Amino acid sequence: MNQLEKARQTIDQIDAEMASLYERRMDAVKEVLAYKKENGLPVFDETREQAVIDKNSVRIQNPEYQEFYKDFLKKLMNNSKDYQRTLLSQHVIAYAGVQGAFSQIAAARLFPNDQKLNFKNFEEVFKAVVDKRAEWGVIPFENTNSGLVGEVLDALLEYPVYIQEVYDLKVEQCLLGIPGATLKDVEWVYSKDQALMQSRNFLKQLSVQTISYPNTAMAAQYVASQNDKTKAAIGAKENAQLYGLEILASQIEAHTENTTRFLVIGLQPKTSGNRSSVLLTVQHTSGSLAKIIEVIARHHINMESIQSRPIKGRPFEYFFFVEMDGDAAQVQACIEDMKENCESIKSLGTYSLGGQ
């Protein structure tokens, strides 16, 4: 055995001991987290963390190693915090809006027994999942009448998340007003821009002014607070009971089969299901996109849809969202062949289409 082999054998033995000690340490971390959770304490305690680093650094006898050991301890502490946040996020579901929003309704149907956290907008839901304040996020992605939600597509490109499941929710839009109001009283209608778009034919007949709101439930909440007969909101019928409103008209969407597709997002890619999707940019040369489509066809994969979206900060340049039917292995082989003609490509995973 030469010098290199002897040194590596020593390292292997130490690594085995460290693995055992690491498990013991993380078991203790679980106990710490249980106490913190019971007593409402935060995961990060800056004073305690610095004390641990200072106390343990002086135990290093060789001064050459001290700064490196401090760095090791900091990484170990970050690893511990990450693990604690992962445990805390389990069975926590993030959605955008307040109670009564379609996202909240979808989240309740998908995860009836889990804790729900609401956020002001879609991007905050993405951040909650990335920061491990929630295990999953429920996000509206596409509607049969108004199309894709562009800001969600942007966030899928920006944040390191993956699609876990797709859930289709049949949406019935209602016009909601304060008690005693009639359709003739309404002059202003508040709702999410997609809901206003879905109900545009009905609103045109009413000859009203429309105001876009972050989501449908917040619009209903606002109308209830104003106690003004001239103001109404578009939203789910559940909002009438939640906020003390009356349904002035129901099924006001342009098409009665109005359905919104929701995504469940998480941090780990799924590899089982009947649908896969990717986000990609192509080389700015003639035929680049056509080559991508040819690759999909060559792998005998059905391309369910392809949609373009402007790239932020790059005027008149676009990225593409591609949905494909096929198993994970088949799609992964296809993605590998796509790379030759892509500037960038992000797989969003292989997942299942849910019901209504």
Residues 293 and 291: their CA atoms lie apart, in Å, by 5
pTM of this structure? 0.82
Q: What is the CATH number of domain 174-252?
A: 3.40.190.10
Residue 156 has pLDDT above 70, yes or no: yes
Known binding residue 238? Answer is: no
Q: What is the pLDDT of residue 354?
A: 66
Residue 80 has pLDDT above 80, yes or no: yes
Residue 168 has pLDDT above 60, yes or no: yes
Would you place residue 96 in the very low, low, confident or very high pLDDT band (cuts 50, 70, 90)? very high
Asked, colleague to colleague, whether 90-171+260-268 and 174-252 share their fold, the answer is yes
- Interval 40-54 mean pLDDT: 91
Arch. (CATH architecture) of 270-356: 2-Layer Sandwich (3.30)
| The CATH number of domain 3-88, selected from 2.40.40.20, 1.25.40.10, 1.10.10.10, 1.20.59.10 | 1.20.59.10
Q: What is the CATH number of domain 90-171+260-268?
A: 3.40.190.10
Residue 221 has pLDDT above 70, yes or no: yes
Burial class of residue 295 (count of CB atoms within 10 Å of its CB; 0-12, 13-18, 19+): buried
Known binding residue 209? Answer is: no
Neighbouring CB atoms inside 10 A of 133's CB total 17
Per-residue pLDDT tens digits for 248-292: 999 998 877 889 999 999 999 988 888 999 999 998 888 889 999
Known binding residue 45? Answer is: yes
Residue 179 has pLDDT above 70, yes or no: yes
Please provide residue 60's backbone torsions phi and psi, each rounded to the nearest 5 degrees. -80, 120
Per-residue pLDDT tens digits for 276-335: 999 999 988 888 899 999 999 999 999 999 999 999 888 888 999 999 998 888 899 999
- Contact criterion met (CB below 8 Å) for 236 and 314: no
Q: What is the pLDDT of residue 256?
A: 76
Known binding residue 25? Answer is: yes
Percent of the chain with pLDDT over 90: 79
Q: What is the pLDDT of residue 355?
A: 55
Q: What is the pLDDT of residue 255?
A: 79
Known binding residue 325? Answer is: no
Residues with Cβ within 8 Å of 69's Cβ and at least 6 positions away in sequence, in order, are 56, 57, 60
Residue 145 corresponds to which tokens in the numbers above? Answer: 């009448």
Known binding residue 225? Answer is: no
**Alpha-carbon torsion, ordered 308, 312, 315, 318, to 10 deg:** -20
Domain locations in the chain?
3-88, 90-171+260-268, 174-252, 270-356
- Contact criterion met (CB below 8 Å) for 228 and 162: no
Q: What is the pLDDT of residue 146?
A: 80
Q: 3-state SS of the chain?
A: CCHHHHHHHHHHHHHHHHHHHHHHHHHHHHHHHHHHHHHCCCCCCHHHHHHHHHHHHCCCCCHHHHHHHHHHHHHHHHHHHHHHHHHHHCCEEEEECCCCCHHHHHHHHHCCCCEEEEECCHHHHHHHHHCCCCCEEEEEEEECCCEECHHHHHHHHHCCCEEEEEEEEECCCEEEECCCCCHHHCCEEEECHHHHHHCHHHHHHHCCEEEECCCHHHHHHHHHHHCCCCEEEEECCHHHHHHCCEEEECCCCCCCCCEEEEEEEECCCCECCCEEEEEEEECCCCCHHHHHHHHHHHCCCEEEEEEEEECCCCCCCEEEEEEEECCHHHHHHHHHHHHHHEEEEEEEEEEEECCC
Average pLDDT value for the chain? 92
Q: What is the pLDDT of residue 152?
A: 95
Q: What is the pLDDT of residue 245?
A: 96
Known binding residue 36? Answer is: yes
